Structures are given as structure tokens and as C-alpha cells.
């Protein structure tokens, strides 16, 4: 078992490249199933989840060709061609490892009129029901049967345009609904749609492929179905969660880092809280400069769907605020089990109390290195951030979580002065 070893206490300084967005990439890959022509995606991050999703669409009949395999190059170019969908049944061994794989449901239904997808698995951060995905497909005329751990959806006469009214905001369900609707007969209205930049990224890619979409980035998306889509070349947006994570790393170490490719407009709620905590953010020609030389101030944070503060940044901000000069209160409203990193941060000397969905963080003067265990992707990054500022050596175990969402983390952090390396576990 591999581990990340960090000797903390060094301010991060220099330039750090932000990769293509994991959450956008995992939505754009299944979009290739919507056309028989090639879809070329540029700026794909080198991540385990991206590779796994590539294998999933391979098993459905999609060919993939990858450029940029050289290890010294950030990002890759992947051309996907689903000339003929050879199977409408998604591989159980992949789907049950990665929740995003439910996103093949909409494209398969839209193009083939049938899809059989296992109920997905993924990180243990609370319930993420697929009910909203299924209700969206039903609103477009699909017949849904759930049995023996599989979702079997059929639309033998093709999907029909309709009104999809989500009771709560769901990014994944919005993405699935959008991909299903572009090939449906007639017009579709998606109400209470997610507004994340990744939704906009998907819509822009689909429009480039010939889809008729309006309102993306707002709470109501309108789609006019078309008979077919064509191929295109599209660049994946930069990863706003990675940028926010490295901003926290720069801040907690009292550093000065330019995040190449980052744009504060992609994560305004996070930028607002960072600045309230005493972190300086300055947009540059190449990206975003992050500085923190006067110490970290406490802030209160409540997670909500975009454009409010994202749940995917809660753990990283908590790590940073563990060294703030006062008390911060964090409230998690999205997932009910996303404080598993608290116990590990406490091993390093953090003072955190959890009551239900609220965590009270009392800033301490210093953190101390310890052996800690990663529990999910963002929790893993919170431990890395804490380790960068801690006295002594921190060992982060179960780093396979990090490999799902942070491209070449040790290399990027080393380039800005961190003493960090990957080693074999005990």
C-alpha cells in the first residue's frame, strides 16, 4: 500500500499548473456515446477515474485514442468514437467503483432506446440516490425497472421531450437529463437544474456537437431535440476544486503561489471565503496568484449547491481553518457523512467538535505530523494540506483516493517547494 510522506513547515512559492476538471471530464466522456462521429477532448487530466471511465465506454463499443502519453506533459488529448454501440449494458465491476458512471444512462437511452446500468458505488460520504436520474428518464418517456442491483431503462420508440422538474438540485441528474434530452423527439424543459460550471461545460460541448440548448448556467435549461449529433473537438475546463485546494495549501503555509490556468470566477463562493480568511487573490495573465502572509482569520461556511459554497471544498477549508486565529463554524448541508476527515485532523492536533452537520473549528497555534488515513477524495486532500503546515513528518495512507482526483500531486507540490514524496506503505 502506497503512502504520501510530507515534511511540513515550508511556505509554498512559485507556479503550479491547474489540470483539466475531473468532474467535467467524467461528464464529457459519456457524451461521446451520443454520436457515431469522433469526439476529441483536450486537456483531460491524468486520473484513475478518467481512465476507468474510458474503459467503461470501451466496453460499450467506443474506441479511444490518447495523445500526450509522455509523463512530463500535463493533460492529455483523447479521441472517442462510438461508431456503433455494441452493448447497452454497463460493466458492473466499473460502475460499482465509480458513481459518475451512472452518466452513461442518458446517452445510451437517447441514442439506443435502451440501457442497463448497475446501481453505482463510490466514496463513502453519504447517500447519493439515483432516484432523480430515473425520474428524469421517466419524464422523457422511458420505462424504468430496478431489480437485482440493475437499472433497466427502455424507450423503444425513442425518448420524447417533456418537463423535468427536480425537487432538489442534482448535478449528476441534470447532466444525465441534458444528455438524454438532446436526441429526444421534441422540446424538453429542465427545471431546478444545477448551475455548476461543469454543467455549462457539458452544454457547450453538446452545442458544438449540434445540440440545441438554452439556459445552461441558470435554473431552467431548455433543449430542442435533434435527430443526430456530429463530432467535435472540445477543451475541458480547468478544475476549480483543484484550484481551490491548492489555494488552501498556499494559504496554510503562508505561501505565494500562482495557479496557472485558474480563474476565481469559476469558484467565486470559495474565493470570497478565502479572502475573508485573509488570503490575497489576484487574477494574472496566466492564472490566479494566491498569497497569505498575515495569518489566517476564522470564517463561517455553509455548503450549498452552486453558486454557493461547494461541498467538495469543505474538507480543504477545514484543514486551513484549523490554524486560524479564532473559531470557525462549518455546516454541511449536502452529504450527511462528510466529516470523516475530522478524526484524522485531530490526530495532528486540530481542535474540532462535530454536532450533527455542524463542525466547530477552534484554531490552534500549530499542527504536528502524524500517520493519518484517507477516507475519500477531498478528505485526502485536507490531510495533505494539514501535513504541509504541520511540524515534523506526516504520512497519508490509502492514497488511491487522491489518485482519483488530483493529477500528479506530489510533482506539482514539489515544484513550489513542498517536501513531499510517495513511498511504499508498511
Q: What is the full DSSP assignment across 9-68? A: -PPPEEEEE--B-HHHHHHHHHHGGG-SS-EEEEEE---HHHHHHHHHHHHTT-EEEEE-
The three three-digit cell numbers of residue 334, written as one number: 449536502
Active site residue 123: yes
CB distance 26 to 172 below 8 Å = no
Residue 287 CA: distances (Å) to CA of 18, 85, 196, 266, 413: 9, 40, 20, 12, 17
Any known ligand binding at 185?
A: no
- Give phi and psi for 40, each to the nearest 5: -105, 125
Q: Which residues in 348-361 are b (16+ Cβ under 10 Å) and which e?
A: bbbebeeeebebeb
The CA distance from 232 to 164, in Å, is 28
Sign, Cα dihedral of 332, 98, 189, 234: positive
| Strand 220-224 versus strand 187-191 pairing type | antiparallel
Angle formed by the axes of helices 314-321 and 377-389, to 10°? Answer: 20
Any known ligand binding at 195?
A: no
Closest CA to 147 of 114, 109, 119: 119
Bond before 307 cis per omega within 30 degrees: yes
The CA distance from 362 to 322, in Å, is 7
Any known ligand binding at 290?
A: no
Any known ligand binding at 129?
A: yes
Any known ligand binding at 23?
A: yes
Any known ligand binding at 132?
A: yes
Any known ligand binding at 107?
A: no
Any known ligand binding at 128?
A: yes
- Catalytic pick from 123, 205, 248, 292? 123
CB neighbour class for 262 (10 Å; exposed up to 12, middle 13-18, buried from 19): buried
- Give phi and psi for 7, each to the nearest 5: -105, 105
The CA distance from 342 to 330, in Å, is 12
Please name every residue paired with 153 in a beta bridge, in sequence order, or none if there are none: 115, 144
Any known ligand binding at 131?
A: yes
CB distance 182 to 226 below 8 Å = yes
Any known ligand binding at 239?
A: no
Q: Binding-site residues for UDP-N-acetyl-alpha-D-glucosamine, please?
A: 99, 128-132, 312, 334
Q: Binding-site residues for phosphoenolpyruvate, please?
A: 22-23
Q: Which residues are the active-site residues?
A: 123
Amino acid at each position: 500500500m502506497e503512502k504520501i510522506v510530507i515534511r511540513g513547515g515550508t511556505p509554498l512559492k512559485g507556479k503550479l499548473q491547474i489540470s483539466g476538471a475531473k468532474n467535467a471530464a467524467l461528464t464529457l466522456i459519456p457524451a461521446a456515446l451520443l454520436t457515431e462521429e469522433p469526439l476529441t477532448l483536450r486537456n483531460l487530466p491524468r486520473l484513475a477515474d478518467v481512465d476507468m471511465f474510458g474503459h467503461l465506454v470501451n466496453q460499450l463499443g467506443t474506441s479511444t485514442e490518447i495523445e500526450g502519453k509522455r509523463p512530463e506533459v500535463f493533460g492529455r488529448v483523447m479521441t472517442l468514437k462510438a461508431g456503433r454501440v455494441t452493448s447497452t449494458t454497463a460493466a458492473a465491476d466499473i460502475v460499482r467503483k465509480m458513481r459518475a458512471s451512472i452518466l452513461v444512462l442518458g446517452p445510451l437511452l437517447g441514442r439506443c432506446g435502451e440501457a442497463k446500468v448497475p446501481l453505482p458505488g463510490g466514496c463513502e460520504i453519504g447517500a447519493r440516490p439515483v432516484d432523480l436520474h430515473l425520474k428524469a428518464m421517466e419524464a422523457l418517456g422511458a420505462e424504468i425497472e430496478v431489480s437485482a442491483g440493475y437499472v433497466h431503462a427502455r424507450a423503444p420508440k425513442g425518448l420524447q421531450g417533456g418537463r423535468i422538474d427536480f425537487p432538489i438540485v442534482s448535478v449528476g441528474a441534470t447532466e444525465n437529463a441534458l444528455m438524454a434530452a438532446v436526441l429526444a423527439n421534441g422540446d424538453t424543459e429542465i427545471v431546478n437544474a444545477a448551475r455548476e460550471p461543469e454543467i455549462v461545460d457539458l452544454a457547450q460541448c453538446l452545442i458544438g456537437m449540434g445540440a440545441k440548448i438554452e439556459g445552461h448556467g441558470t435554473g431552467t435549461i431548455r433543449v430542442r431535440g435533434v435527430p443526430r449529433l456530429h463530432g467535435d473537438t472540445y477543451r475541458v475546463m480547468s478544475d476549480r476544486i483543484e484550484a481551490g485546494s491548492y489555494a488552501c495549501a498556499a494559504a496554510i503555509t503562508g505561501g505565494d503561489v500562482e495557479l496557472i490556468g485558474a480563474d476565481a470566477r469559476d469558484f467565486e463562493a470559495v474565493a470570497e471565503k478565502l479572502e475573508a480568511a485573509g488570503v490575497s487573490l489576484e487574477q494574472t495573465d496566466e492564472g490566479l496568484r494566491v498569497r497569505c502572509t498575515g495569518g489566517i482569520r476564522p470564517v463561517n461556511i455553509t455548503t450549498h449547491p452552486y453558486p454557493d459554497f461547494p461541498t467538495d471544498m469543505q474538507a480543504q477549508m477545514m484543514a486551513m481553518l484549523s490554524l486560524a486565529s479564532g473559531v470557525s463554524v462549518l455546516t454541511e448541508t449536502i452529504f450527511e457523512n462528510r466529516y470523516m476527515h475530522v478524526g484524522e485532523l485531530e490526530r495532528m492536533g486540530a481542535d474540532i467538535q462535530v454536532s450533527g452537520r455542524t463542525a466547530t473549528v477552534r484554531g490552534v497555534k500549530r499542527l504536528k505530523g502524524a500517520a493519518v488515513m484517507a477516507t475519500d477524495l477531498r478528505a485526502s486532500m485536507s490531510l495533505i494540506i494539514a501535513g504541509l503546515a504541520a511540524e515534523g513528518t506526516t504520512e497519508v495512507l490509502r492514497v488511491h483516493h487522491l489518485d482519483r482526483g488530483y493529477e500528479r500531486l506530489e510533482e506539482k507540490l514539489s515544484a513550489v517547494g513542498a517536501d513531499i514524496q510517495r513511498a511504499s506503505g508498511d
